[in-house]
Amino acid sequence: MQALRIFTVSILLLAALWVSPSVVGAAEGPPPITFAAAVERALQRNPTVAVALSEIARADALVRQARAGLIPTLYGNGTYTRLDSDRLPSADKEQLYGNLTLTVPLVAPLAWGQTWQARENRRVAEASAADVRRQLATATARAYLAVVAQHRVVVVNETARVTAKQHYDYAHTRLLGGLGHSIDDVRAAQDLASVEVQVQAAYASLVRAREALGVLLAADGPIDTTDTVELAAPPTQDLALREANAQRADIKLLNQRLAAAQATADRTWTYYAPLLSAVGQPYLQKGSHVLNEKGWQAQLILTLPLYDGGFRSGVGREREVLVDEARANLESGLRQAQSDVRAAFDTLLLADRGLAAAREATAFAQKAQQLANMAYQAGATTNLEVIDADRRARDAETAAVQAEDVSRQARLDLLLASGRFP
Check which CATH number belongs to the domain holding 48 and give it.
1.20.1600.10
Average pLDDT over residues 193-215: 95
CA atoms of 40 and 50, how far apart (whole Å): 14
- Residue 16: pLDDT band (50, 70, 90) is very low
- Spatial separation of the C-alpha atoms in residues 408 and 422, rounded to whole Å: 15
- The better pLDDT of the pair 271, 378 is held by 271
pLDDT band at 124 (very low <50, low <70, confident <90, very high): very high
More confident residue, 52 or 287: 52
Percentage of the chain modeled with pLDDT above 90: 75
Q: Rounded distance, CA 243 to CA 417, Å?
A: 9
Quick one: pLDDT at residue 283? 94
- pLDDT in the model for residue 29: 72
Q: Structural domain of residue 38, as residue ranges?
A: 2-418
Give the three-state DSSP class for 244: helix
What's the domain count of the chain? 1
Report which of 183, 146, 210, 219 is spatially closest to residue 401, judged by C-alpha positions.
146
pLDDT surpasses 70 at 8: no
Cα-based distances in Å from 271 to 188, 275, 302, 303, 323: 85, 10, 15, 12, 18
Q: What is the pLDDT of residue 14?
A: 45
Q: Residue 28: what pLDDT?
A: 61
Rounded mean pLDDT, 360-379? 91
Condensed to tens digits (0 to 9), the pLDDT of residues 228-276 reads 888 888 899 999 999 999 999 999 999 999 999 999 999 999 999 999 9
Q: In the predicted model, what is the mean pLDDT of residues 285-291?
A: 87
Q: How many C-beta atoms surround the C-beta of residue 19 within 10 A?
A: 11
- Crossing angle of helices 109-176/182-216, nearest 10°? 160
318-338 pLDDT, tens digit each: 999 999 999 999 999 999 999
| Separation between Cα atoms, residue 165 and residue 195, nearest integer Å | 9
The Cα–Cα gap between 15 and 19 comes to 6
The mean per-residue pLDDT over the stretch 188-196 comes to 92
Arithmetic mean of pLDDT, 143-149: 95
Is the pLDDT confidence value at 22 over 70? no
Q: Rounded distance, CA 105 to CA 114, Å?
A: 14
Sequence-ordered list of residues with C-beta below 8 angstroms from that of 283, at least 6 positions apart, any chain? 97, 98, 99, 100, 291, 294, 295, 296, 297
* pLDDT, tens digit (0-9, with 9 covering 90-100), for 78-103: 999 998 888 888 888 899 999 999 99
Q: Kindly report whether the global pTM for this prediction surpasses the value 0.85.
A: no
Mean pLDDT of the chain: 90
Q: Is the pLDDT of residue 374 over 70?
A: yes
Q: Which residues contact 420 (CB under 8 A, 6 or more apart)?
A: 232, 235, 243, 247
